[in-house]
Amino acid sequence: MSTDVARRNVENYYNILRAQRRDVPTALSEADQRIVTALREAGVYQTRLEDLDLVGSEQMLSQARDVRRDIEMRVAAGPAHLDDPYLIQANKIELKDRPDIYLFGLNERLLRIVENYLGLPVAFGGFNFFYTLADGCERGARVWHLDGEDESIVKIAIYLNDVGEDGGPFEMIRSRLFKGARPYTRPARHEKLERIIGRNISADEIVTCTGPTGSVIFCDTARYYHRGKPATGQNRTAIFFNYYPRPPRRPYFCGKPIVGLEDFAGETHRLTDYQRQSALWRDNVPSIAKYLLPR
């Protein structure tokens, strides 16, 4: 089978499956609907864990504090203990015995919010637990970029310390910089991005999400350019939960999470079928779709 034929087959697979699954949204509470509306109108919504009042929040935060302590010990031990000093995140050893962080990402309210925004069932892509050094370095996720898993995806960030202007806050450019088809551009520093679009990006166009410990940020990171502002005054610890349409159009870009449901087999009794389907979506993606990108 030629690559073009295989790619058309993959495209047909996605189109048929998505047409069958369009009628998924369920009624939400007024508070949760506000999040969906904000994502549709602005691409971002910020709140606090205490206001969301989600089941499992305290357990998640308790285990997250323990993970942060472990990372800080690793950082203090020196660069030899870090895979990449510019992209420090929790490893499997630090996460595998702390299931409540992963399970929090499968909270049904969060899944329903994302589902209503995307208009499709949700694929839960796990989470990344980042520890950002206040080194002022502009690289990796600290340059402007778009995520490529699909045309729309949602990331939910939770700050584990107070984050001010110099503490590496999440930032998003509220304007859609490109019209029409989604551009496939490489990450770019601020000045380079301005050269690409041919104009200056005004301060009013940038949403800077500062906030106290427990701040929660919902954002469509495939439609809007975003970054972690380079931290200069304080290290930042944050968890980013990843959500895609099920199935995502580009599973090739959906990296395998550091921990997944298979690492917490003893906890699956705590999940509904709906949650399991969101967690195990990779089991139902055709093998060829994992390696070919729809045009």
Over residues 6-60, the pLDDT tens digits come to 556 666 666 666 665 555 567 899 999 999 999 999 999 999 999 999 999 999 9
Please give the torsion angle defined by the CA atoms of residues 95, 222, 247 and 128, in that order, rounded to the nearest 10 degrees: 0
Domain ranges of the chain: 25-281
Please report where in the chains the tokens 């202007």 appear, as a residue.
165
> Hey, what are 138's tokens?
């502009």
Between CA 258 and CA 281 the distance in angstroms is 16
Q: 179 falls in which pLDDT band (50, 70, 90)?
A: low
Q: Model confidence over 74-125: pLDDT tens digits? A: 999 887 567 676 689 999 999 999 999 999 999 999 999 999 999 989 999 9
pLDDT recorded at residue 31 = 96
Higher pLDDT, 193 or 267: 267
pLDDT class of 274 with cuts at 50, 70, 90: very high
What does the pLDDT look like over 231-272, one tens digit per residue? 999 999 999 999 999 888 888 788 889 999 999 999 999 999
Q: Nearest Cα to 206, choosing from 165, 236, 235?
A: 165
- If you compute the radius of gyration of the chain from its CA atoms, what whole number of angstroms results? 19
| Average pLDDT score over residue span 152-173 | 97
292, pLDDT greater than 70: no
Q: Rounded CA gap, 166 and 7, in Å?
A: 45
Residue 293 has a pLDDT of: 53
Of 41, 46, 47, the closest CA to residue 174 belongs to 41
Per-residue pLDDT at 182: 56
- The answer, yes or no, to whether residue 71 has pLDDT greater than 80, is yes
Q: What are phi and psi of 208, to 5 degrees?
A: -110, 115
- Over residues 131-148, the pLDDT tens digits come to 999 999 888 889 999 998
pLDDT at 106: 98
- What is the domain class of 25-281 according to CATH? mainly beta
The arithmetic mean of pLDDT across residues 200-212, rounded, is 92
